[in-house]
Amino acid sequence: MEHISVFDIFKIGIGPSSSHTVGPMRAARRFVERLRDDRQLERVARVKVELFGSLGFTGKGHGSDVAVMLGLEGEDPKTVDVDAVPTRVQAIIRAQSLKLLGGQAVAFGSDAIVFHRREKLPLHPNGMRFSALDAAGAVLAERVYYSVGGGFVVNHEGHPEGANTAASTATIPYPFSTGEDLLVLAEQHGLSISTVMFENEKAVRPEAELRRDVIEIARAMEACVKRGCEREGILPGGLKVKRRAAALHRRLRADPRGSTDPLAVIDWVNLWALAVNEENAAGGRVVTAPTNGAAGIIPAVLMYYLRHVPNADDDGAMRFLLTAAAIGALYKKNASISGAEVGCQGEVGVACSMAAGALAEVMGGTPEQVENAAEIGMEHNLGLTCDPIGGLVQVPCIERNAMGSVKAINAARLALSGDGKHKVSLDKVIATMWQTGADMSSKYKETARGGLAVNIIEC
């Protein structure tokens, strides 16, 4: 049984989109690495990239073209210098040439990236075709990849490319595919959900490394919140959306206890979510959680845990992230975390569900209450459409993360106030989300052809 690791779900990367930026960058780099491994690199004179379906529709607004250029130059979403990206891209455009894996220069003119708005490749709405040509124009290699959400990339047969292969081949002690599996494992072995995930991860990497790397994810989320709370101005892309987090942060710091307002904690949670998603929209350093568009919810709820729940500590932060990853893996295996496939219920809905279950876990919930919290987190996001104005991950995305964060906290509280028994199981709500996504018109699946995207003028 395939194990989806916490490091598959949470990847440190670059904004604004996991499926339209992180995935294409990883695919582009993989394409050139394959050329190098096949000893074809020296013969390449030109590269052509075609983006299909949702990537064709909204790839420009999501920075897919930029991601592809940097990926071809060998950059990785985790390590690319985000502040240097605009200068690098200008240099490529000016020279009409880029350096494959940072070495050999090849032609890359204005026609090198083609956005196919009306055509789709068969496996998924986010298809890409890369071609390498020699000096005479003959095709040396052609490969198809799909960016299937959350930065995951698969090849033309649907097999993972660049996934956490150690995790996918290891023998893990507590394999699970469904919420029911998780509950049975927890019951049989007397384990919490986070411990099930922790033991599985320990089969893949040493415990000390595991703890260090999960805490690195938490720190990367906190750093993103901090940067988002400091930066002001207008977000890129032409929609003229003003960053709000810095001003809200100043106001809250002036009255940190919210002495006159019992609901001030909601303002803080809103702030943390806005801060992350503004950083994401600006192309900053962001952790997929499980996607970039929904990247604010888990950090905001994690910050709520660290700042507002008594006795919170790093061990709890680790258990929070492991629980969230276990829940995210259920959606990845049984439905989708791609807005292009199932709408925003697959992004903000999934993040809300993950955060709700994770918070219930670190607030002392039983496995049944954790499962219940995750279920509530999705049940009230069913049918949520993806209709980003101008194809940018800004409106409604930024504010939607604040709404999803507060909803996740409420879902955890509702579940913790019960005994874990409930009518709709997490598995049933995941199946419902998947079916609802299949029935949803493609206008509402990251194509910017419906909803707010057509009712609001982009200026």
The footprint of ligand SF4 (CB under 6 A) covers: 293-294, 339, 344, 347-348, 386, 388, 393, 396-397, 400, 446
Instruction: Provide the 3-class DSSP secondary structure of residue 133.
Output: strand
450 contacts: CB under 8 Å, gap ≥ 6? 385, 387, 441, 443, 444
Q: Facing residues of 242 across strands? A: 234
Of 365 and 396, the one with the shorter C-beta distance to ligand SF4 is 396
Please give the Cα distance from 87 to 253 (Å, whole number).
Answer: 35
Closest approach, Cβ 451 to ligand SF4, in A, equals 9
Closest approach, Cβ 428 to ligand SF4, in A, equals 22
Please give the Cα distance from 185 to 335 (Å, whole number).
Answer: 22
Of 32 and 273, the one with the shorter C-beta distance to ligand SF4 is 273
**End-to-end Cα separation, the chain, in angstroms:** 49
Of 246 and 294, the one with the shorter C-beta distance to ligand SF4 is 294
Closest approach, Cβ 240 to ligand SF4, in A, equals 18
Please give the Cα distance from 179 to 127 (Å, whole number).
Answer: 30
Of 100 and 344, the one with the shorter C-beta distance to ligand SF4 is 344
In this structure, the strands spanning 113-116 and 46-52 are parallel
Closest approach, Cβ 74 to ligand SF4, in A, equals 27
Closest approach, Cβ 396 to ligand SF4, in A, equals 6
Of 218 and 295, the one with the shorter C-beta distance to ligand SF4 is 295
Instruction: Provide the 3-class DSSP secondary structure of residue 458.
Output: coil
Closest approach, Cβ 114 to ligand SF4, in A, equals 22
Please give the Cα distance from 109 to 142 (Å, whole number).
Answer: 18
Closest approach, Cβ 345 to ligand SF4, in A, equals 8
Of 276 and 374, the one with the shorter C-beta distance to ligand SF4 is 276
Helices marked H in 190-291: 193-202, 207-230, 245-254, 264-281
Write the DSSP assignment of 58-118 as a string of letters.
Answer: HTTTTTHHHHHHHHHTT--TTTS-GGGHHHHHHHHHHHTEEEGGGSSEEE--TTSEEEESS
Find out whether 379 and 424 touch, Cβ atoms under 8 Å: yes
Residue type for position 148: V
Of 319 and 400, the one with the shorter C-beta distance to ligand SF4 is 400
Q: Which residue is nearest to ligand SF4 (CB)?
A: 293
Find out whether 119 and 130 touch, Cβ atoms under 8 Å: no
Closest approach, Cβ 445 to ligand SF4, in A, equals 8
Of 112 and 356, the one with the shorter C-beta distance to ligand SF4 is 356
Determine the longest span between alpha carbons in the chain, in angstroms: 73
